[in-house]
Structure 1
Amino acid sequence: MSDTPKPPLRIGLFATCLMNLFRPTIGFAAAKLLEDAGCILCVPQGQTCCGQPGYNSGDNGSARALAKQVIATFEDYDYVVGPSGSCMATIRHDYPVLLAEDHEWRDRATAVAAKSWELTSFLVDVLGITSVQARLDGIVTYHDSCSGLRGLGIKGQPRQLLAGVEGLTLHEMTDSEVCCGFGGTFCVKYPEISVKMVDDKIRNIRETGADTLIGGDLGCLMNIAGRLSRNGSPIRVFHTAEVLAGMAEGPGIGDGRS
């Protein structure tokens, strides 16, 4: 048996559209966590949107074109990792379906899907990391996003990592697994229902006594943070990656300065 150490994993970081446009700090936080874990990190310049908005709206042609672009950009990396259950669930589950009838692309889609992971799940389930060096003083509560929870089984992984953050106390909210009302295009198509859902979520957040909300999908966090801000709430909102990387000391999501 050879004692030669394995080379570090080459990770392609999937920079989501919302992160890129509204909260680049999440990308820097994800990069720090992956590099601290010993990975070689790359952020391919050719990447695009994962195609989920088009796919969810029935525009399968555009979704397929974007899927092919993502596959071609990332297929040479050991893993594809992104700080979003929503985008990574699209790559993991929807790409093989979208390209199932395309003989040139279906095997490539399946191969990329198999090595695509949401950030906290990758750290815990693939790398076996159980704790990180970070601090956040305060009481926090956690929102489980629909795509991450139901699509990728992300529940215990972020909580396991957050448990090791110094100064952090987690108070679970009622119905943490219930949708916040964002749902991508859902909030545009059904705004009245969406507002009712996010108001219910905010009530549950407040009842925990938390001063900070944490979650793993920026779409959910922007939706909740926007409603909190309009209601004059002082509760801050951060992505899980920002907290785990020790980068949650500045402005929170949706406070008008981020």
Structure 2
Amino acid sequence: METHYPWDRLLWAVPEEEPNTISPMAAVEGRAALLLQPGEDAVIETVVVDDPGPNEVRVRITASGVCHTDLTVKNLRGNGMAFPIVLGHEGAGIVDAVGEGVTHLKPGDPVVIAYRAPCEQCPACRRGDPRRCYMALRPGPRVHRKADGALCSQVLRCGTFADYTVVHAKAAIKMPEAMPLDKACLIACGVVTGVGACMNTTPVWPGARVAVIGCGGVGLSVIQGARLAHARQIIAVDVNPVKLQWARDFGATDVVDARDGDPVAAVRALTEDGWDGGVEF
């Protein structure tokens, strides 16, 4: 039986086509999942996506993961963004056109879209802490609702629940040609959140003992990050036996079913004197 992990569900999957079938510098039309008003469900409408501006690229989206953040935007009535809003921020695709000044990418390149590209100029970036960048790079207003020409906001500067989007060139990360984009898109949010927790937020050192509470897509990425950091013990905690098996598949050395009693006591029982760090997702 084929095993399905939590990130197997893709909201947007567009059939592959030759990357050069679209003129590299002409506005294009496509579909997008839009929030039109606070409290309303998303709808699929046609949008017009302009040429990329300087230091921008237009990407033909081939796959996008599903993240709770987009539901949060809906539940928070737009979270301060102007309507209409293009949902989605965990996408991958093919560069369709590049703007002036872009030299590291060309039409046809496969890319993953990063939702946060550091500006390299603010105090946080200058002190070597780009994850706390004050002013993440964003594209200009390039996406319009076809019905009335209204400019569309893009969730986390991305807007990947769409056939096309425009992002800052530094937010488009080139992928190896052999990397399947329906897997690569997951790197854009869930994987970097989990692995980044081990590498940056709560650094895991070689030989560390780590407890991971919650083994969904991000939690499994924490487990993989802990493996990459050479943790010697990775204890996965969840209430779902299927997720606990996934945790073993992805590198957990021990699992704790929190339905069976006090999970903290169970984790302590698996170690000599407790764990060195914990991550809850």
TM-score between the two structures when normalised by the length of structure 2:
0.26
Decide which structure has greater strand share: 2
TM-score between the two structures when normalised by the length of structure 1:
0.28
